[in-house]
Structure 1
Amino acid sequence: MIDVIDHDNFGYGTQAGDAMRGAFDWEMYYKRIPIPLEMKRADPTEPFESPVMAGGLFAVDRKWFWELGGYDTGLEIWGGEQYEISFKVWMCGGRMEDIPCSRVGHIYRKYVPYKVPGGISLAKNLKRVAEVWMDEYAEYVYQRRPEYRHLSAGDMTAQKELRNRLSCKSFKWFMQEVAWDLPRHYPPVEPPAAAWGEIRNVGSGMCMEIKHLVSGSPIRLENCVKSRGETSWSHGQVLTFGWREDIRVGDPMHTRKVCFDAVSHSSPVTLYDCHGMKGNQLWRYRQDKSLYHPVSNSCIDSSPMERRVFMNTCDPASPSQQWLFERTNATVLEHFNRDSN
């Protein structure tokens, strides 16, 4: 298990959630997902299987490590190696377990002290892993990262020959037998969104806009891009109310990792790193066109004079609390609202 050593004061602690399974989303960001109920054990100190390791912190039989080819020497500098070794272990006859009573502390630096030549090593590494190991599932990565399609990943002949020589299983087998719970959290095919596009206020005719894509940034009320006569959408006004019932920046296929978040009644609506666990990031779009926040039992309100977006006591008659999404999926919205009742 990997614990956290604070970069500033060397304080030692566990990661949020502590024991969780290593995973990934289809943009190939490393993720941690809860141990499913089907795998829960009475004794929390017992080892548990994990689809993906976090990187270089593991113990393995040396002879077998080299039989697997070690790390792919075609990977450059940093990134992607955790997927390459994890897929290879599972698909080529091994298994990986996390041991809760075995702990390694890791300092998570706030900055990278070295420069990456060309700046595309990580992308090339991920493309290489996808091409060698992910079979038809690589397409789900390219749908979200179209810039990877035409990127050169170098000569992969030796890696593909290694996979054949070791009689490794398919990535479909990996997804069905090892990472079977991953699609619950990160589905390969994104379920349809409930609503997306600009979010226009009925009272003022102004739109919500994101100025800065960093945690803590407030949501602002600004003149709608389309009303200003601009031909292309501003990314800051393209928002998606998606299947996780949170609101993210971007269109349904290209959402960013920041979500609408509110702490309490009367607090501002701000961006926060998406966690997918509902809570402060759970929203309801109701028939009265209000955006309701169950945790605070309040609704998103707005002040066009101050250009503020904030939480307030719900008032179905107030136009400043009524919002129109550019596009909606009535079936998904009905499903959300039915489940909430």
Structure 2
Amino acid sequence: MKRKQKRFLQMTLLFTAALIFLPDVGLWSLYKDKHLEKSAEPGEQQTLPLGMGDGQLFTWTDGLKRKDWHDYESIQKDAMRSGKGEHGKPYPLTEEDHDDSAYRENGFNIFVSNNIALERSLPDIRHPNCKHKVYLEKLPNTSIIIPFHNEGWTSLLRTIHSIINRTPDSLIAEIILVDDFSDREHLKEKLEEYMVRFAKVRIVRTKKREGLIRTRLLGASLARGEVLTFLDSHCEVNVNWLPPLLNQIALNHKTIVCPMIDVIDHNHFGYEAQAGDAMRGAFDWEMYYKRIPIPPELQRADPSDPFESPVMAGGLFAVNRKWFWELGGYDPGLEIWGGEQYEISFKVWMCGGGMFDVPCSRVGHIYRKYVPYKVPSGTSLARLFTFGWREDIRPGEPLHTRKFCFDAISHSSPVTLYDCHGMKGNQHWSYRKDKTLFHPVSNSCIDCNPAEKKIFMNRCDPLSETQQWMFEHINMTVLEKFNSKASS
């Protein structure tokens, strides 16, 4: 009797499964008829219910076939990984590991980079809807262009490994590493030998220091892919990062698309979203890039859908190759950081294109602690120091032309130059009546060592001559008003 009951239960379960999942007669077919066989809005990315993807093809009434591009085998392998730094967790640093020498050559902690796996796993921090989206079956291939100058060995290799491991091979036409006249030994013959294992990677080199823009242009001029995808040399791409970008371009070739740029901490290499996550790119009257919230009236019903943005951040984006050159590419006169994101963004809008940020595409990026190499155009501390509108200090002249700001972390740290971010914090300074430059974050002041021509943070001492800073023009009324507001 028990055997008959067991067989009856088995048959019941099989019948139930068939009723739900059989393609033509099950409940799944009813869902498909109701939800998939519908007209797709231009640019709309279709979403499947949990577990209904698995690489299958689906046809919408617009006549285009779409599929689930996720590599579930790779995702499962990543989920099984363990070790320091895996799943994007911060590397556990001891007191002895906090050594400024680890930052000196790269602007980030190369000790940590060298001690986490080149193929480490990352957390999938996309919006949940992204896990079930399907994209066009036929997507254009792309040339991935990565410029670099004296990049750290493991940070560069981790960029390549993450691309190879998390990108469908059919979508990669080539990966072009463009060396901007590096002089470090590990980036010469050793790099050539290492990259032989990757059939689609090739290395090209400039004959002199060209700077970021002309280096990118060199890579773009040699590219063969239908789409150009620009990345930095210290990135880690996340799960299924490329199909959402290519899908948007396939629907409209006059489109530049950007991934969500996540933060890889320059010290412990922890991986997390930027503050505020999905926000639009913008700029202020000083032409400094900033991120602003999406107004409620422009927010999508599905927050995982692509959204338009006035300007892009600059370094990480994809664009149709032919259209990139129709736009004129980059102005080759632009130097290391020359506002190239504005040039491209303005061209896009003036030429009838669109600029989109794509929440379902995520790429981690190391934001350096400071710029570790010399800029060909020069950045001299001997020039006039100017206060910006956001209480930062910017070296350079004429007023507000530089994009570097004084940056300091602790009461004993050196004062470094870092990209101006306009969010105060480490770049927040006060000029006080005693002529000291006060740093609220570290509760200390800028000091200098004239003999070694260095400036650093030190305990504030109004009587110290090395902490006295003289400005040619000071509006004491504005200064007193600002300082009273800051102290209240």
Task: Specify the structure having the higher radius of gyration (Cα).
Answer: 2
TM-score class, shorter: 0.3 to 0.5
